[in-house]
Amino acid sequence: MWKHKEQAYLYLRQAFFQVLDFIDTLAPNIILSGHIKDKVVDDKGEMVMAANIDLTGKIKSLICANADAIGYLFRKGNKTILSFKTSDEVSCGARPEHLKNEEIVLAELNAKGKLETYWDKIYV
């Protein structure tokens, strides 16, 4: 058994980033997909629901610090939307100017029922 809980998290972080470093060698652009964890936080005396990426320990902040963009993917009607807008409820954002504070329709079903995607709005 490990002497300290922090030591266990250190080994978990090292293993996680070894895998991620290998994945980064496979393609010029890597998209990581994950789930969010809802949590209640106190914001100036008011309880607010916040959604953050569900990762263990410092991995969450390290992944977010290294990412060029963090978006929140959701469906609205027949559209799939990727939001880079930060709010009290969701922590998102982007370094590239064309993504900053934007909501981008990533995919939608057209009138014929065919799925159309718009990755050119992400990768300009």
Question: Please, which contacts does 41-47 make with residues 24 or more away whose CB atoms are closer than 8 Å?
Answer: 43/88
Q: Where are the beta strands (DSSP E) in 7-102?
A: 36-43, 46-53, 69-70, 72-76, 79-83, 93-94
Q: Which residues pair with 67 in a beta bridge?
A: none
pLDDT > 90 in the chain, percent: 42
In terms of pLDDT, which residue wins out, 92 or 14? 14
Domain boundaries of the chain, sorted by first residue? 1-30, 31-121
pTM of the model: 0.74
- 120 — pLDDT class (breaks 50, 70, 90): very high
- Alpha-helix runs per DSSP H in the chain: 5-24, 59-66
53: three-class secondary structure by DSSP: strand
Give residue-wise pLDDT tens across range 11-44: 888 999 999 999 999 999 888 888 777 666 666 6
Report the pLDDT averaged over residues 79-94: 84
Coarse DSSP helix, strand, coil percentages of the chain, rounded to the nearest 5 percent? 25, 35, 40
- Look at phi and psi of residue 77 and say left if phi exceeds 0, alpha if psi is from -120 to 50, else beta: left
Tell me: pLDDT of 55 over 90: no
Tell me: pLDDT of 2 over 60: no
